[in-house]
Amino acid sequence: VTGASFVVFNGALKSSSGFLAKSSIVEDGLMVQITQETMENLRQALRDKKDFKITCGKVDAGDVKEYVDICWVENEEKTNQG
């Protein structure tokens, strides 16, 4: 689990790169590089206020994967106030 001050979603990852998605820590935030198709699906999930999971790593990496989970919460009192 990684806490971050901000998240950047970059939709320029090419399908031919061999990656499902890539995540990296940038300063005190997180950058997630995703394909254009995943970006479209993420945008729709945000519009619909639905949870969304991004699987990161190489396409042929087997069971070793990282995940970026976008989750909507009911109680906002427990979230970051800043």
pLDDT tens sequence for the chain (82 residues) = 667 789 999 999 998 999 999 999 888 899 999 999 999 999 999 999 999 999 999 988 777 678 999 998 887 666 566 5
Fold of 6-70: Gyrase A; domain 2 (3.30.1360)
Q: What is the pLDDT of residue 73?
A: 81
Q: What is the pLDDT of residue 76?
A: 64
CB half-sphere exposure, 14, CA atoms < 13 A: 2
Instruction: Tell me the whole-structure pTM to 2 decimals.
Output: 0.79
Asked if 56 and 66 touch (Cβ cutoff 8 Å), the reply is yes
Sign of the CA dihedral with 8 first, then 14, 35, and 55 last: negative
Pairwise CA distance, residues 10 & 21, whole Å: 10
For the chain, the domains span: 6-70
